[in-house]
C-alpha cells in the first residue's frame, strides 16, 4: 500500500531546545562545523488505494489540523514516499 510522508518542523523563529541539545553534543564530539541542528518530525501514513490529489489534500488537512500545531510548527512537506524509501523502511 502506498505511503504518504508528512514532515513537520518547529517554526524557524522559535527556540528549538531539542535541536540546541543535539547541536551541543555534536560540538562536544568535535563536529562543531555543523553549526546548527533543528529537530522536526516525520509521519508516514499508509493509505488504502491510489494516492490521488484528493488523498494528498486530505492528508494536508490532517497535517495542519492535527499532526502539526501551526502556532508552533510548520508543515514543510506532504508527499508520496518513493518506492525505495518505503522498501527500505519495510526491511527493518
Partner 1 sequence: MAARIGVITFPGSLDDRDAQRAVRLAGAEPVALWHGEHDLKGVDAIVLPGGFSYGDYLRCGAIAARSPIMSEVIDAANSGMPVLGICNGFQILVESHLLPGGLIRNDHGDFVCRDQRLRVENNSTDWTNAFTAGQEITIPLKNGEGGFIADSETIARLEGDGLVVFRYLDVNPNGSINDIAGITNDRGNVVGLMPHPEHAIEPGFGPDTPDAMRSGIDGLPFFTSAIAALALSVG
Contact residues: partner 1, CB under 8 A: 10, 14-15, 17-18, 20-21, 66-67, 69, 71-72
Gap between the Cα atoms of 47 and 38, Å rounded: 29
For residue 76, give the C-alpha cell: 514543510
User: 17 or 32: whose CB is closer to partner 1?
Assistant: 17
Shortest separation between residue 72's beta carbon and partner 1, angstroms = 4
Q: How far is the CB of 13 from partner 1 (least distance, A)?
A: 9
Element (H, E) at 37: none
Q: Which is nearer to partner 1, 4 or 6 (CB)?
A: 6
Pairwise CA distance, residues 17 & 60, whole Å = 27
CB-nearer residue toward partner 1: 36 or 83:
36
| 45: alpha, beta or left? (left if phi > 0; alpha if psi -120 to 50) | beta
Q: In the bound complex, what is the minimum distance in angstroms from residue 79's beta carbon to partner 1?
A: 20
Amino acid at each position: 500500500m502506498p505511503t504518504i510522508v508528512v514532515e513537520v518542523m518547529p517554526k524557524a523563529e522559535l527556540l528549538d531546545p531539542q535541536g540546541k541539545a543535539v547541536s551541543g553534543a555534536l560540538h562536544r564530539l568535535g563536529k562543531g562545523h555543523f553549526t546548527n541542528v533543528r529537530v522536526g518530525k516525520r509521519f508516514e501514513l499508509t493509505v488504502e488505494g491510489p494516492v490521488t490529489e484528493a488523498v494528498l489534500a486530505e492528508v494536508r488537512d490532517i497535517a495542519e489540523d492535527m499532526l502539526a500545531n501551526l502556532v508552533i510548527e510548520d508543515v514543510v512537506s506532504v508527499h508520496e514516499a518513493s518506492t525505495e524509501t518505503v522498501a527500505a523502511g519495510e526491511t527493518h
